[in-house]
């Protein structure tokens, strides 16, 4: 995975299934410009990769991939078609890159946001964002984002929080004003209500809708990275 690939236009590969997600992310979010990648993948992974909004299998990885590409199931391949016979069935998937996708300006913020939205499979967004631990974590991140805004440019908060996480986090929790935290929780609830996503599940929401919700949160000072 550390190797840089040469320039290519079309990729056709039978890859080790254990690197499927990392390889696809490397192809699509690296510096490579290509038209299609046709890959043989484990069937369960292929189902998640090709899932669409509204499907029960729709997930965070599929949402992130759909920022820049479309994944299509070509055919299933039974494990009995191989010798020796493996333990899992496979599927052939074609990935087509597309121009004009909805790519957020801050991908790290998007990744942090979708990590929250897809953290609980069967819960509504309203239920996910009401969790006390979630509210506290977003409160700390949003407060750090404001503190580390220097001359209009944001410092990478992730780097600043990487050392001494346990001790500093415990001190920070003790310093949180309960009233301020309640106001922050109300702010999150109002954003969800105003955008109309309070009772929706992430599996039914498109990237366009998610982008709209992320902008609404950021405009109210709620940040995810």
CA distance linking residue 127 with residue 112, whole number of Å: 18
Predicted confidence (pLDDT) at residue 56 exceeds the cutoff of 70 = yes
CATH architecture designation of domain 107-219: Orthogonal Bundle (1.10)
The confidence band for 148, taking pLDDT boundaries of 50, 70 and 90, is low
User: Which pLDDT score, from 0 to 100, does residue 159 have?
Assistant: 29
Q: What is the pLDDT of residue 169?
A: 44
* Domain range list for the chain: 10-97, 107-219
Q: Flag whether the pTM goes above 0.85.
A: no
Tell me whether residue 127 is exposed, middle or buried, using C-beta atoms within 10 angstroms of its C-beta: 0 to 12, 13 to 18, 19 or more: middle
**Is 72 in contact with 94 (CB distance < 8 Å)?**
yes
Residue 38's φ and ψ, nearest 5 degrees, are -105, 115
Same fold? 10-97, 107-219: no
Percent above pLDDT 90 for the chain = 71
Highest mean predicted confidence (pLDDT) among 147-151, 165-169, 220-224: 220-224
pLDDT at residue 46 tops 90: yes
Superfamily for domain range 10-97: Vaccinia Virus protein VP39 (3.40.50.150)
Strand partners, 10: 36
| Ramachandran category for residue 156: left, alpha or beta (phi over 0 → left; psi -120 to 50 → alpha) | beta
Mean pLDDT of 129-151: 81
How high is the pLDDT of residue 100? 64
Beta-bridge mates of residue 218? none
User: What band does 156 get if pLDDT is binned at 50, 70 and 90?
Assistant: very low
Confidence of residue 121 (pLDDT cuts 50, 70, 90): confident
The band of 164, judged by pLDDT with boundaries at 50, 70 and 90, is very low
CA-wise closest residue to 189 among 136, 129, 131: 129
Residue 88 has pLDDT above 90, yes or no: yes
The reply to whether 194 sits in an annotated binding site is no
Quick check: 98 pLDDT over 90?
no
202-207 mean pLDDT: 92
Q: Is 14 annotated as a binding residue?
A: yes
Q: Calculate mean pLDDT across residues 138-160.
A: 58
Average pLDDT over all residues of the chain: 86
Bridge partner residues of 146 (DSSP): none
User: Which range has the worst mean pLDDT, 38-42, 98-102, 118-122, 209-213?
Assistant: 98-102
């Amino acid at each position: 995975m550390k190797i840089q690939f040469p320039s290519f236009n079309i990729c056709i590969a039978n890859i080790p299934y254990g690197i499927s997600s990392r390889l696809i992310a490397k192809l699509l979010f690296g510096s490579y410009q290509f038209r299609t990648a046709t890959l043989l993948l484990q069937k369960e992974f292929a189902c998640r990769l090709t899932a669409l909004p509204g499907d029960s299998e729709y997930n965070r990885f599929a949402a992130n991939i759909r920022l820049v590409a479309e994944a299509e199931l070509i055919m299933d391949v039974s494990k009995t078609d191989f010798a020796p016979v493996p333990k899992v069935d496979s599927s052939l998937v074609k990935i087509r890159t597309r121009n004009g996708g909805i790519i957020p300006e801050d991908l790290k913020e998007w990744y942090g946001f979708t990590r929250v939205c897809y953290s609980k499979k069967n819960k509504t967004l309203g239920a996910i964002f009401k969790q006390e631990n979630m509210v506290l974590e977003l409160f700390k991140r949003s407060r750090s984002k404001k503190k580390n805004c220097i001359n209009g440019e944001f410092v990478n908060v992730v780097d600043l929080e990487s050392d001494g996480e346990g001790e500093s986090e415990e001190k920070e929790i003790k310093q949180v004003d309960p009233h301020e935290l309640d106001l922050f929780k109300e702010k999150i609830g109002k954003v969800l209500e105003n955008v109309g996503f309070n009772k929706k599940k992430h599996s039914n929401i498109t990237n366009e809708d998610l982008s709209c919700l992320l902008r609404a949160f950021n405009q109210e000072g709620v940040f995810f990275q």
